[in-house]
């Protein structure tokens, strides 16, 4: 681990100022905000993350889950994953989020990990964490060891010739199905970004995973008012039953009226370079009956354009079955 400067912020303006100052104080210096530290500390020990300044944001007043006047929900960036998963409103109105959070990591990690940190969770690609190997995400321009190497767990959707790393978060998949909005504060002010626009596919710049600028702080996430009578399911398929990342997952939010699907949101995890919403699958489902053939057509649409790598061709069928099964569970 390299030397870094450690500071603490007590409110949002101070944190944002610390981020901005850190950038100007030293040319090219990197600032990282630390909350639970469940990703950042690991990566600093591995020399993957080498920030010049680490700003502790644990004292910021961003640890509440609050109902909004419009009926939606405001989730502070510092709300711990375990608190969010067990929040009564989340369990009642946004159960896909609770299910996704509880399927991830271990109880100890969920007690530390925060909403903001989970949004920024880094890939589990083995080459990203090994600084002896080429990795465009860690060292732009160095190459991608995974394309000709170990890629069984990596992406079949959204990849490029420069990176096929998956986004490892379960929470992000549920937030995508719920159409969350990410609220950001930075040196240039505040802005709100729909989650569908927050994450970036790698293209030729895999080191850029989202729209955050240096020094930007995620302050909270909002969810729209819950749709009445929706059924919500998060189904996660993995190599072992706990403390494991998804090979394929599906977050489903559906509403059924008079035997037909009147509302559908489908998002997938474990198979793509970002949380992957499939509007194509949603279109197939809309106004259709609860029919296994329709579910399969939706799954085919969701995986249309998948590009399997040398070791992960099995994910195409696995992801389709995951979507079909999750739709079956959600619609009873
Ligand atoms: Fe690095 Fe992405 Fe290639 Fe993995 S897939 S080695 S993270 S560039």
Question: 258-311, pLDDT tens digit by residue?
Answer: 999 999 999 999 999 999 999 999 999 999 999 999 999 999 999 999 999 999
Asked whether 199 and 182 are in contact (CB, 8 A), the reply is no
- Tally Cβ neighbours within 10 Å of residue 279: 13
| CATH topology for the 230-331 domain | Enolase-like; domain 1 (3.30.390)
Name which of 207, 202, 44 is nearest 137 in CA terms.
207
The residue whose CA is least distant from atom 1 of ligand 1 is: 135
d(C-alpha 39, C-alpha 234), whole Å: 23
Whether 65 has a pLDDT exceeding 50, the answer reads: yes
The residue whose CA is least distant from atom 3 of ligand 1 is: 144
Contacts of 181 (CB under 8 A, 6+ apart): 192, 193, 194, 195, 221, 222
d(CA 247, ligand 1 centre) in Å: 17
Whether 27 has a pLDDT exceeding 50, the answer reads: no
Residue 28 pLDDT grade (very low, low, confident, very high; cuts 50, 70, 90):
very low
Q: Which residues line ligand 1 (CB under 6 A)?
A: 123, 125, 127-128, 135-137, 144-146, 154, 163-165, 206
Q: How is the beta sheet containing 230-237 ordered, strand by strand? A: 230-237, 248-257, 260-269, 276-277
Whether 25 has a pLDDT exceeding 80, the answer reads: no
Residue-wise DSSP of 88-123: HHHHHH-HHHHHHHHTSS-HHHHHH-BHHHHHTPPP
Asked whether 77 and 12 are in contact (CB, 8 A), the reply is no
Atom of ligand 1 nearest to the CA of 136: 8
For 113, 121, 160, 226, 275, the CA distances from 177, given in Å and listed in that order, are 21, 18, 24, 12, 9
d(CA 154, ligand 1 centre) in Å: 9
Question: Which of 144, 208, 272, when mutated, tests ligand 1's pocket best, judged by the most ligand atoms within 8 Å of its CB?
Answer: 144
Average pLDDT, the chain: 95
Contacts of 222 (CB under 8 A, 6+ apart): 68, 72, 73, 74, 75, 180, 181, 183, 192
Contacts of 199 (CB under 8 A, 6+ apart): 167, 172, 209, 210, 274, 275
Q: Which residues pair with 65 in a beta bridge?
A: 75
d(C-alpha 7, C-alpha 33), whole Å: 10
d(CA 124, ligand 1 centre) in Å: 9
Name which of 155, 152, 199 is nearest 173 in CA terms.
199
The domain spans of the chain are 230-331
d(CA 285, ligand 1 centre) in Å: 34
d(CA 145, ligand 1 centre) in Å: 6
- Please give the pLDDT value at position 24: 53
What average pLDDT does range 146-162 have in this prediction?
98
d(C-alpha 11, C-alpha 59), whole Å: 7
Residue 22 pLDDT grade (very low, low, confident, very high; cuts 50, 70, 90):
low
């Amino acid at each position: 681990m390299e030397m870094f400067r450690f500071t603490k912020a007590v409110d949002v303006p101070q944190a944002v100022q610390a981020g901005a100052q850190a950038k100007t104080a030293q040319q090219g210096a990197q600032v990282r905000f630390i909350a639970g530290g469940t990703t950042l500390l690991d990566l600093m020990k591995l020399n993957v993350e080498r920030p010049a300044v680490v700003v502790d944001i644990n004292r910021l007043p961003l640890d509440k889950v609050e109902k909004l006047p419009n009926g939606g929900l405001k989730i502070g960036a510092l709300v711990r994953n375990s608190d969010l998963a067990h929040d009564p409103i989340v369990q009642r109105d946004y159960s896909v989020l609770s299910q996704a959070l509880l399927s991830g990591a271990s109880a100890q990690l969920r007690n530390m990990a925060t909403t903001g940190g989970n949004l920024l969770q880094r890939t589990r690609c083995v080459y990203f964490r090994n600084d002896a190997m080429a990795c465009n995400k860690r060292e732009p321009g160095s190459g991608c060891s995974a394309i000709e190497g170990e890629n069984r767990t990596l992406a079949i959707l959204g990849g490029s010739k420069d990176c096929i790393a998956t986004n490892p978060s379960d929470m992000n998949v549920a937030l995508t199905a719920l159409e969350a909005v990410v609220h950001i504060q930075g040196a240039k002010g505040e802005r709100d970004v729909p989650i569908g626009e927050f994450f970036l596919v790698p293209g030729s710049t895999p080191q850029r995973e989202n729209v955050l600028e240096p020094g930007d702080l995620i302050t909270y996430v909002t969810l729209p008012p819950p749709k009445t009578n929706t059924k919500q399911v998060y189904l996660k398929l993995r190599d072992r039953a706990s403390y494991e990342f998804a090979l394929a997952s599906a977050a489903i939010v559906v509403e059924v009226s008079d035997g037909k699907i009147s509302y559908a949101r489908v998002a997938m995890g474990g198979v793509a370079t970002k949380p992957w919403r499939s509007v194509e699958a949603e279109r197939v489902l809309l106004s259709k009956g609860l029919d296994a053939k329709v579910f399969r057509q939706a799954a085919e649409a969701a995986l249309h354009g998948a590009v399997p790598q040398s070791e992960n061709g099995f994910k195409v069928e696995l992801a389709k079955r995951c979507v079909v099964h999750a739709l079956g569970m959600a619609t009873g």
